[in-house]
Amino acid sequence: MTEPDLFSTAAYDYYLPEDRIAQNPAVPRDSSRLLVLPRHRGGTVSTTFRRIGDFLSPGDLLVLNDTRVIPARLFARLKSTGREVEVLLLRSLNSQWTDWEALLRPGRKVRPGEELLLSDGTVLTAGEHGEDGVRTVRFPPGTEVLPLLERIGSTPLPPYITRSTAPPSAYQTVFARENGSAAAPTASLHFTENLLEELKGKRGVTVAWLTLHVGLGTFRPVKAEDIRDHHIHEEYCSLPLRTKELAGETKRRGGRIVAAGTTVARALESMAGEDGSLEAGSRSTRLFIYPGYRYKITDGLITNFHLPKSSLLMLVAAFAGYERTMKAYQEAVSLEYRFFSFGDAMLII
């Protein structure tokens, strides 16, 4: 049997029946299913997410991403022709939130300098074409952008969610507070306030926070045949001093650092030195994790089931091992787990 080429994007493909793509989340959130995958030994365990504490230990540190999804999807019309253009805001480029990286659809029809008229009369100005189809757009100086988005924007659900009846709040974690994401950190959608309190109280798990604003880097598909030719788009991340301190204390006690989601794993690894120590502060990261990468600080990973050939699946394979990951995905398909953003979860520990 030929060994798979782990640098080939095709190696991360798998068969998924269309009806396995979740269109709505589990209600309540922690009633979703959980596939527990030991990282280095043994088989899997199938349970529910609310039992995740059974697999964590007192003294473990659970790190959560407190980013909040903004209503980043806007509809505008070209001022020159009246043609409708969809605008997906990806990443703010200044502290006033007036300059953004964005995706425009159809982008090729919008020339640099053209004006886009929003439904409330605000005029966006389109900028130059960039890599991966990204454009810049500019709001008029002095625009209060977040209130504007809350009035006329909508939550940008992924394109594979086509029949959802869930309210926008379902695509938001219960602890979301830092505005800036174009997509949710979906592994954390399973947590309820009661479950977090149980983990901290009865289970003795410490909770810490960081921020990674999810943008194009997380959800852009890998199109290159060789994954080493794929480039991750920049995403902003911030790690508080308190989280750095808690991580250091946890490691000294022999506890585990458990990342709630691939966004947390990327942020932690982006802020970690070769010796596993964390650096507090903020930066933009383009870290692309795939098999061959040596994790510096992450000991456990909570994650949803990701799209075939995606950078997120490659990150998981780097953590759990390629063969174990792909076998677990096959098992999840056979057990009729629900996949992608509103789907079920894995705990790799």
Map tokens 């425009």 to a residue. Answer: 104
The CATH number given to 73-152 is: 2.40.10.240
Pairing relationship of beta strands 67-69 and 178-181 according to DSSP bridges: parallel
26 vs 109: which has the higher pLDDT: 26
For the chain, the average pLDDT equals 95
pLDDT at 81: 93
Residue 269 to residues 22, 31, 274, 290: CA-CA distances in angstroms? 29, 30, 10, 12
Please tell me the CATH superfamily of domain 9-69+166-348, with its number: QueA-like (3.40.1780.10)
CA 183 to chain CA centroid, nearest Å = 7
The DSSP result for 221-254, as a single string, is ---SSBGGG--PPPEEEEE-HHHHHHHHHHHHHT
pLDDT at 40: 85
Helices and strands of the chain, counted as H and E runs = 7, 17
Residue 239 to residues 49, 67, 268, 293: CA-CA distances in angstroms? 26, 12, 8, 21
- pLDDT classification of 192: cutoffs 50, 70, 90: very high
The CA-to-CA distance between both ends of the chain, in Å, stands at 29
Helix axes 311-320, 322-334, angle to 10 degrees: 110
Residue 210 and residue 267 in contact, taking contact as beta carbons nearer than 8 Å:
yes
Map tokens 């990327």 to a residue. Answer: 266
pLDDT at 2: 67
- Give the containing element (helix H, strand E) for 179: strand 178-181
What average pLDDT score do residues 208-226 get?
90
Pairing relationship of beta strands 115-118 and 123-129 according to DSSP bridges: antiparallel
Over pLDDT 90: what percentage of the chain? 92
SS3 state of residue 150 = helix
Q: How far apart are CA 148 and CA 270, in angstroms?
A: 33
Residue 298 and residue 319 in contact, taking contact as beta carbons nearer than 8 Å:
yes
Q: How far apart are CA 239 and CA 277, in angstroms?
A: 12
Report the amino acid identity of residue 57: S
217 vs 156: which has the higher pLDDT: 156
User: What is the domain partition of the chain in residue ranges?
Assistant: 9-69+166-348, 73-152
pLDDT at 108: 82
Which candidate, 150, 123, 164, places its Cα nearest to that of 26?
Answer: 164
1 has pLDDT over 60: no
Q: Which tens digits make up the pLDDT trace of 151-176? A: 999 999 999 999 999 999 999 999 99
pLDDT at 221: 85
Over pLDDT 70: what percentage of the chain? 99
Map tokens 């383009």 to a residue. Answer: 286
pLDDT at 41: 83
279 has pLDDT over 70: yes
Map tokens 């629900």 to a residue. Answer: 338
